[in-house]
Structure 1
């Protein structure tokens, strides 16, 4: 959202610091946390089904309403704030997840593994052909399109929306390409919830350490290869090869992060993160709103005027503020505004007054992010 080159450390003439920050973000962050949220989405699917059963309500209508609500929010988000929206993709894949809900945990994991391997093979084959048969792109080749995009994002509100609509088809095609990876994470979450993995292993420190020790090196190695292919020293032709490696190894780093957090985050810090999880959808949309006000013609119009390092620092500050606000709000309200809206649509009625969340409830499995 900050500029056409931000994810790559800037365009021609970018500073060493900006390129280094982009390289580290690609190696350690990109795709890893989206997989974690996708896993939690699949996990929450089972929790919602159990909740509907306890309430004596039919699950299918609830799920369809929730899916429609997610899609509607995603469409508005994509058109008005950020064309790289993920909510519409989640909504569509949630329908596939409903169709696969009767799979046994083992069958779900096998299908997930098959989807990951198939996508990685496709990306690797196409990426190697790209390396063998094409030449690296030069700045002069994409400069006219970049100039047009920059002008639109620095223009007025209608100009920004026009840019979003122009970019939306390519974003949706990318979502379609990587949909198998997200569905695989949904299925892994489904299997974990069916086997009550968090309840069984979430406090087993020996098991958690074992996951980190075994899989962190694999994930880090894959992240380094991905960053080399996406930035430097390799050129743009290697981009898809790097993403093939990411598809295979990012789950290892994601699992290591999740288990590492369970090992390290206790007490008050755990409450802060749990509160953020309860408001994950609100935080996601708020991040897009703030960044749109900073970088587009909606506000300061700093698009393509800020280096990658400054953007990352600003994002960390923003998330820190969200953690603080999210921790304070549950003492007064139970849901964030986006969560309340989605919950109202899902249940076809406004949730009744249930009071603030207690610390124990904040740590409960029902407080998983909805993203």
Structure 2
């Protein structure tokens, strides 16, 4: 059972957990790499358009195998874990958790709506807000039951993709040709069928009004894709909630041997699934294998995500890894601000808000630009948090959660 939701003067204070900030900072890179490919338009292979050359093909293949579908799971797990921290914070403040959580989810939904309309219709915050209500409803469920529900949700999604894929293989027959590049790409919540068209390209290269209309046009399709993958998201939420209830990060040294086992077992299994998904998406397997590849990706992504997370946590406990922790933690502490900033910068580069390079830059070039942007975000996050307690978006979300603006202090 969870801790009581009512006031509890004896509850211990809730401090920030450095591992959570490090993992959020790490996950920001994966989210950026995928979102940038979609916002860049049909010149990228993840956008379903023509590939400029071998470098772009290779970049798209690697991103699908190693990144797509992995890092949104890590963020979702951390969201569920953070739910338990919010609970304990409310207990320490002797306030009811329910109203706080409802205000927080409402603010998150509004931030996501503004983000989707103004910058990027593949926003994930609205979906997080809605699933946050489900998380609240399941807050009293025992951790082991939460994990069973998560496994059931994941298995159901895998089965849907597998059945769809098998039917596609049986019905299309030998007429299938080419790699599976019919999907427009992978949002933060999975693949979608939003396809780039000539008028869409023109809209994103037009003025601000044209960009807004294009975002509104694509928003329903992205929301539908997020709904399809909501089972995957909710499964990660529930796993994070169970881990938070067990306080998995309370004694990291105690879990070091377990984390090593997860890396040893999760990497080969997750990599095999990611490589197969890439082969089904970009070749050499043809387009009829696409949904079977998605089934393999959904099934194995949690293993690779867990291996990534445990690998990072093990690395930052080494002398050489401490510098990495100091670089990642500030960015993770203001992950919401960084997530929104990424979309803002990408919109300035690729849409009519700025340079209008939509559809003009290939996957490899976009990948290189993302690495530069991420390095800048790491540096700016560390600099900003020398003077402020949190990022601007976190400040607004905290104010909404607590029903008033806190004092802006270091």
TM-score, structure 2 as length reference: 0.83
Q: Describe how 1:151-166 pairs up with structure 2 within 5 A.
A: 151-166=202-217
Question: Is the contact made by 1:9 and 1:23 (CA closer than 8 Å) also made in structure 2?
Answer: no
CA distance in 2, matches of 1:203, 1:152: 54
> 2:230 aligns to what?
179
In structure 2, the residue corresponding to 1:252 is in which secondary structure?
A: helix
Q: In structure 1, what is the Cα distance between the partners aligned to 2:210 and 2:337? A: 26
| Counterpart in the other structure of 1:248 | 299
Matched, 1:283 2:334: no
* Secondary structure at 1:198 match in 2: coil
d(CA) in 2 for partners of 1:14 and 1:104?
Answer: 51
CA distance in 2, matches of 1:5, 1:13: 7
Give yes or no for contact 2:122–2:219 (8 Å, CA) kept in 1.
yes
2:22 paired residue number: none
Q: Once the two structures are superposed, what CA deviation does each residue of 1:151-205 show, in whole Å capped at 9, x if it has no partner?
A: 1110111111111111111101100000000000000000000001122345643
Cα 1:13–1:59 shift into 2, 3 Å = closer
5 Å-filtered alignment, 1:138-217, equals: 146-201=197-252, 204-217=255-268
Counterpart Cα distance in 1 of 2:353 and 2:292: 37
Contact 1:84 1:171 in 2 (8 A): yes
Number of paired residues?
354
- The 5-angstrom pairing of residues 21-170 of structure 1 reads 21-134=59-172, 136=176, 146-170=197-221
C-alpha separation in 1, matches of 2:196 and 2:263: 43
Q: Which of residues 1, 8, 11 is equivalent to 2:49?
A: 11
Q: Is the 8 A contact 1:9 1:19 kept in 2?
A: no
Distance 2:169 2:222 in 1: 23
What do residues 229-254 of structure 1 show as CA deviations (whole Å, max 9, x unaligned)? 11111233322211111111000000
More displaced stretch, 225-234 vs 48-57: 225-234
CA distance in 1, matches of 2:362, 2:53: 8
Residue 230 of structure 1 contacts residue 242 of structure 1 at CA under 8 Å; is this kept in 2? yes
Aligned-pair distance for 1:12?
A: 3.3
Deviations 1:8-44 (A, max 9, x none): 3873352011010000000001111100000000000
Distance 2:351 2:261 in 1: 45
Contact 1:8 1:230 (8 Å CA) reproduced: no
CA distance in 1, matches of 2:176, 2:216: 28
TM-score with structure 1 setting the length: 0.91
Bigger proportion of residues as helix: 1
Counterparts of 2:371 and 2:350, CA distance in 1 = 16
SS in structure 2 at match of 1:129: helix
CA contact (8 A) 1:201 1:208 kept: no
**Equivalent pair of 1:10/1:19 in contact (CA under 8 Å):** no
Q: What residue ranges of structure 1 are gaps of 5+ in the alignment?
A: 356-371
Trace 1:308-347 onto structure 2 (pairs within 5 A): 308-347=363-402
1:121-150, Cα deviation, whole Å (9 max, x unpaired): 01111122122223658899x9x9621111
1:366 corresponding residue in structure 2: none
Change over 3 Å in CA distance of 1:299–1:188 after alignment to 2? same
Over residues 98-133 of structure 1, what are the superposed CA-to-partner deviations in whole Å (9 max), with x where a residue is unaligned? 001111110000000000001100111112212222
Shift of 1:351: 1.6
Helix, strand or coil for the counterpart of 2:229? helix
Instruction: Name the CA distance, whole Å, in 2 between partners of 1:247 and 1:330.
Output: 36
CA distance 1:210–1:239, change in 2 (3 Å): same
Q: Which runs of 5+ in 2 are unaligned?
A: 1-38, 185-194
CA contact 2:51–2:57 (8 Å) conserved in 1: no
User: Counterparts of 2:272 and 2:47 in 1: how far apart (Å)?
Assistant: 21
Provide the residue aligned with 1:358 in structure 2.
none
